[in-house]
Each structure stands twice: as structure tokens, then as C-alpha cells.
Amino acid sequence: MGLISRTVYNGGCHVLGIIPKALMPLEISGETVGEVRTVSDMHERKAAMAREADAFIALPGGYGTMEELLEMITWSQLGIHKKTVGLLNVDGYYNNLLTLFDNGVEEGFIKPGARHIIISAPTAKELLEKMEQYTPCHEHVAPQESWQMEQLGDYPKQLNAQ
């Protein structure tokens, strides 16, 4: 992510990193790029990212990347956000995941319209072009207005208060 952050920043764009306090010593080893916001935990991180982002792009990654990707897909399906979700499918890295989604449609676990929440392409240029043309075409489980995004950031605090 450091190389991507530096490239975006050097291109004149705003860079915002949101990181849980516990990961600071593990993930930040040198000079930071752009704005870095520290949050208390992963729940607060994802809520802040969802509020701040114009869209979501997952690059090839591990469990954390996939977990965040699936949450943003789920939030789109539920109607929490109407932002584009993209996969940069470098060298077919996500082919098996996309096949799993297709199988979920075939087996009746994913609605056909919801399958189109995720956009994928093998190059950044092609992915951005597809994302710019994206229009949500799936039914939301609940209207976006019924979700209170500002409360998502307080999720762990609410649990601890109970």
C-alpha cells in the first residue's frame, strides 16, 4: 500500500490512511504519506472508510482484504451504501472468488442482480473505466436512509455499554 499511496499522493490526490491503534507499530514502518487517522479497532476503521470513500477497490491480498471486500459488498446489498466495489484482478488472482460468487447465484444464495455489485478487471485503467460507468442495478434489502452510518463507528462502544 505504501507504493500506491506515494504514487497517488505524488499525482496530486488526497491520501487518507485509517489504521487501528494496535496495528500502528506493525503496519507503519517509516514516513507516512498523506493523512493518517488512528482509530480504536477494525470495526471503527471499516465504518470510517465507508464514510470517507467514494468507491472501494480491492487489490490482491489476504484474509483482511477479503473480509473488508465482502463487508463492502454486503453493505451494498443491504443498502448501507451505493458506492462502487471493484476488484483489481491481477493475473486472475480473484478468478476463483468470482467463480464462487457465480456459483452462489446458480445455487440460489446470491440474487442475480446482487452479483453485479462487484466489478472486476485485470488492469487499473480498465477497472476505473468500468467503475465510472457503474450504476447499481440490484435491489437493496433496506433503503439507504434507514441505515445510520454515523452509528457504525460507535459499534464497539455500544456493545461495551450493554
Per-residue pLDDT at 58? 94
**What pLDDT does residue 25 have?**
76
Q: How far apart are CA 32 and CA 9, in angstroms?
A: 11
Residue whose C-alpha is closest to residue 131's, from 149, 114, 116, 115: 116
- Residue 49: predicted pLDDT: 87
> What is the reported pLDDT for 159?
46
Identity at 20, one-letter amino acid code? P
Average pLDDT of adjacent 10-residue blocks, the chain of 162 residues: 80 87 77 86 88 91 93 90 93 97 96 93 95 80 64 50 48
What pLDDT is stored for residue 148 in this prediction?
63
Q: Rounded to whole angstroms, how far apart are CA atoms 139 and 159?
A: 30
100/90 Cα distance (integer angstroms): 17
pLDDT at 108: 96
Beta strands (DSSP E) in 10-76 are 16-20, 35-39, 55-58
Residues whose CB falls within 8 Å of the CB of residue 15, separated by 6 or more in sequence, listed in order: 5, 8, 9, 33, 34, 35
pLDDT of 63 reads 94
Three cell numbers at 10?
505524488
pLDDT score of 140: 66
Selection from 29, 31, 32 nearest residue 16 by Cα: 32
Q: What is the pTM of this model?
A: 0.78
Provide CB contacts within 8 A for 55, sequence distance 6+: 83, 84, 85, 86, 131
